[in-house]
Amino acid sequence: MIKKPEMVLIDVDGTLVDSVPDLAFCVDEMMLRLGLQPHGEEPVRNWVGNGVERLVRRALVGQLNGEPDEQLFEQAYPIFLELYADNICKRTQLYPGVSEGMEYLQSRGYKLGCVTNKAEKFTLPILKQLNIYDAFEIVVSGDTLDVKKPDPGPLLYAAEKLQVAPNDSLMLGDSQSDVKAARAAGFQIICMSYGYNHGEDIRQYAPDQVIDTMIELTAIL
């Protein structure tokens, strides 16, 4: 049973937006420029969620774990960053139900914040282009602090800035990083069933509730 919070913090990739089409395009273009075989969208969908540096490393080794040759990474990473800067929000879209869910949360007067591991230079253009930036009182990006999720620091930072106690706070995310950060911060946690959890069912990480669309929040909060 979810206790009604004062504040809701929301993740970006895999929760609000499906950014994989842009990320996969950039990964494949990077691979081609390096003379390597592109991966296609499906593997990339399982590799996102820990920032673009980690994504590039995973793409170079072709799997979730492992480390590429450092010289190859140092060649590849600037190529990816250049590509992504030009393709931040060309194919990225809000998930169905996000607009309605956001409108509901705003109408009920919840304090809203955005907490993501994505760097600010990539986060803000997406939020602005998809017309949800103004809904948030605070945006904590992956480079706002020295730590990122699953560390609880970004959640506690947002709670402090918005002057809300952790036990009056809720995290809405899609990954084990969101669950771990919320638990460590003392937040409640609701997860989306459709997100990027490296191909695993988010239910195995025991969030307080799992929903299929943000429209379901109207019956919960």
Catalytic residues: 11
Whether 105 and 121 map to the same domain: the answer is yes
Residue 18, beta-bridge partner list: 93
Predicted confidence (pLDDT) per residue in 3-45, tens digit: 999 999 999 999 999 999 999 999 999 999 999 999 999 999 9
Q: SS3 for 139?
A: strand
What are the pLDDT digits (tens) for 105-130? 999 999 999 999 999 999 999 999 99
Residue 131: burial class (beta carbons within 10 Å; 0-12, 13-18, 19+): exposed
Mark which of 70, 86, 102 sits at the end of a domain: 86
Q: What percent of the chain has pLDDT over 90?
A: 96
Burial profile 21-38: b = 16 or more Cβ within 10 angstroms, e = fewer:
bbbbbbbbbbbeeeeeee
Query: Is residue 102 domain-shared with residue 211, that is, in the same domain?
Result: yes
Find the domain containing 51 and state its range: 20-86
Does one domain contain both 72 and 168? no
Amino acid 1: pLDDT: 86
Q: Are residues 176 and 72 in the same domain?
A: no
Domain boundary among 71, 86, 101: 86
Domain CATH code at residue 150: 3.40.50.1000
Q: How many structural domains comprise the chain?
A: 2
Q: Name the residue with tokens 């990480």.
A: 205
> Strands 138-140, 169-173: parallel, antiparallel or unpaired by DSSP?
unpaired
Summarize pLDDT for 31-89 with one digit per residue, the tens.
999 999 999 999 999 999 888 999 999 999 999 999 999 999 999 999 999 999 999 99
Tell whether omega for the bond before 166 is within 30 degrees of 0, i.e. cis: no
Percentages (nearest 5) of helix, strand, coil residues in the chain? 45, 15, 40
Please say which residue of 33, 54, 86 terminates a domain.
86
Rounded to two decimals, what is the model's pTM? 0.95
pLDDT confidence band for 156 (50 / 70 / 90): very high
The closest of 18, 40, 17, 14 to 27, measured between CA atoms, is 40
| Judgement on whether residues 48 and 100 belong to the same structural domain of the protein | no
